[in-house]
Chain A
Amino acid sequence: MLGIRKTFPGVVALDGVDLVVGQGEVMGVLGENGAGKSTLMNILYGLYTMDEGTIEMQGKKVHIRNSADAIGMGLGMVHQAFTLVPNLTVMENIILGSEPSNMGVIDVKDARRQVTELVKQVGLDIGLDTLAEDLPTGFKQRVEILKALHRGAKILILDEPTAVLTPLEAEELFKSIRRMTKAGSTVIFITHKLKEVMAITNRITIMRRGKVVASLETKDANFDILANAMVGRQVQRKFNFGPYKPGETLLKVEDLKAASKHKTEALNGLSFAVGAGEIVGVAGVEGNGQTELVECIMGLMKPTGGTIRLKEKLINKLHTSEVLKLSVGHVPEDRALNGLILDFSIAENVVLGSTERTDFSKRGVMVPKRIRDFARKIVQSFSVSTSGIDVKARNLSGGNQQKIIVGRELAGQPHLLIAHQPTRGLDVASTEYIQSLLVDSRNAGRGVLLVSADFDEILDLSDRILVLYEGKFIGELQRGASIGELGRLLGGIAAS
């Protein structure tokens, strides 16, 4: 038997989480984004240190300070983003860091024997001399699993392993998971997909907001129990919604298709419309196509099929700057990476993309006074707390950074506002403030496309909810939809 127990009284990610996994079982850890699944696993794997709590293995208390410790104790982790070296062969990748060698020279024969044996054992068939970069995604994951096993992993943590797999590949993966557990390995399977968790696990632990909300045998579970537990609600926030009277259609997307950076299909025929005076929420767990959807609309990515129209104008092939000129505001995902230039001051950031406006520049020369007045106005009207407008964006809190971005985008009086994860990582007050700005925009007759993985936010704000799952909309809900309905859709169970 093997037991892991952790307790954290952390204010942030994990709040007294207990997890017990038995040898040879497949433990499903289910939860939405930000539930704390990954944090928990990163602690187990030695990537984060915990504030409080204990980890026990086979009854003994252990200390895991870094991933080397974790590997030494027989833990292996396969991340969502693979860490393969593209120009090395499959075998070289598997043995990297644990090469059988003789005076610095790799013992190729021995390595091949070891790896072949492993492959037989778990049934993950793969050509050992192929370069990692030439492998399809599903096979890359096999290499990762073999890599962990080659280091002697007895407990394998799989973080959203099917996110990048085709259904067929996922089926193959399940088969080898069964073989592994039969051979005595233990698997911790992290996911948000209800079907999978029902299909492969023995037991399920459901997390929400840093807490374990339920832990049960898979045979006792069903979709409704799981969905309700995964997407529990907090106190509903109150906003002043005006009457719902959607006006002219602003954005019309038809049969949109796009490929992701890994050349797999990211968007698979999306059709929807956003009208003036409504908030359309696109809900979904991250990685189901949200980023590609927003990038296609904004001209940052070329769709592979379908049409995007903005007030009847086809914008498929337009450059980002041209899209922005059509009265579109865009609050990008990851403000620090995409929204602000961190080493620019507030004053410099508020004119990002709008320096050509006639009041900000004359014949290519900027008018600092106007720009500074504008920056002050944004700081004031969006209550950004800062000592001045010359402060670098880097030195502002996340909430204040986001206020600057939203302020900048709303200042252009856009007809359509696209907000992508607008409140991610913000404190409660800032979250509420930003959300109220979106509601105000909607009441003022703007169309708002809210793309979010925060389901409270989606439920609180959206007039209509579209649920994105593996590049497709698998359902549409109206305001007032129940949590259960949303939870099922998020987990990939279409409404019957």
Chain B
Amino acid sequence: MDLTWLILLAVFGLQNAVPIGIAAQGELVTEKSGILNIGIYGGMAIPAFAAAATNLAFGPTLGNASPYMGLLAAMATGAGLNFVFAYLSTKIHVDQVIAGIGINIFAVGITAVFLQRYYALDGTPNGHQLAPLFSITGLAQNLHVSISPLMATMFVLPVLVYLFLGRTKLGLHIRAVGENPKAAEAAGVDVAWVRITATAIGGILLGLGGAFLTVDFNPNFVPDYAQAIFPAFIALAAVIAGGWKPPYVLAVSILFGVTEALRPVLAVSSTQGYLLTTLPYIVTVVVLGIASKRLRPPAALALPYKKE
């Protein structure tokens, strides 16, 4: 009985962690270049809608392959949206924070408008669900655990991000412009374009994280006015609490996912559910308060850079 409880917690926790973990790695890449993307919510929600809509559109012709079209659409939308955001904030000098807020508000509005127009205000119908890589049965009574390809992606991503930032030319440039854009510029690096590229790459992952919720976890898009479905700001928090290091960010994402799972798993007796939900945010504020000297955010994070 106790074991079932733990297994449930692990399964639900990991499932909750997938969108957080994938999006957080994306936000990490973006932040490493010095761009603080507050528009992370829009960066997940709009691609998530695109994924659901594409999945539905290709469903009749492609069948079980259509969720993959959804994922592609999400990644493309995420990259495109983040490209616009980064272009505005580096080339047109729109304030990053304000542009981010604008994108978030826009996201809630525009997805609702599309829903209302083409589907129904309370959500799209179900499409095909992304096929699991494999399933595990027999862990506990009647428990059937599907391992999604996106969950595997979540575990692989930190390694890829680590190698990308550490070993590639672009990765080196990203770290340089996020830390000391002036020095990077002096060394012949184009600060604005490196930032735009990093943000667009981040957008691909934000989109993928968002799409998990609309073609995999549940193959539909339901509107999210209460900011409960797309765990965008939890991902933002995970980047900070993970100290901008890919493996730690993954660990924190899983931790936050498990925290989220505590509520449904303990639901029967718990009255503290709403307080549990706040744990990731409390942890992040406390970490910022206590360890702000030891955390190493990219030094130029959220600071605009203007060429002289």
Contact = CB atoms under 8 A, between A and B. Distances in A.
A108 B296 CA distance: 25
Interface in B135-171: 167-170
B266 interface: no
Contacts, number: 60
A403 interface: no
A423 B299 CA distance: 35
A105 B169 contact: yes
B172 interface: yes
Contact of B179 (A68, A86, A147): A86
B100 to A, nearest CB: 24
A150 B175 CA distance: 20
Contacts of A88: 172, 175-176, 179
Contact of B187 (A96, A106, A108): A96
A67 B167 CA distance: 27
B302 interface: no
A106 B173 CA distance: 11
A106 B180 contact: no
Interface string A87-105: 1100010011111010011
Interface residues of A, number: 21
Given A85-B176, A88-B175, A96 B168 contact: no
- State which size class the interface on B falls in: 20 to 34
A84 B180 contact: yes
Contacts of B176: 85, 88, 96
B interface secondary structure, majority: helix
B183 A106 contact: no
Nearest to A100: B169
B178 to A, nearest CB: 9
A83 interface: yes
B186 A68 contact: no
Contacts of A101: 168-169
Interface string A55-78: 000000000000110010000000
Nearest to B186: A83
A96 B174 CA distance: 11
Contacts of B298: 87
A101 B188 CA distance: 16
Interface string B283-299: 00000000000001011
For the complex of A and B, list the 3 residue pairs with the smallest distance between their C-beta atoms, beginning with the closest.
Answer: A97-B187, A83-B183, A97-B188
Interface of A: 67-68, 71, 83-88, 92, 95-99, 101, 104-106, 108, 147
22 contacts: A67-B188, A68-B188, A71-B188, A83-B187, A85-B176, A85-B180, A86-B179, A86-B180, A87-B296, A88-B172, A88-B175, A96-B173, A96-B184, A96-B189, A97-B184, A97-B187, A101-B169, A104-B169, A105-B167, A106-B172, A108-B167, A147-B187
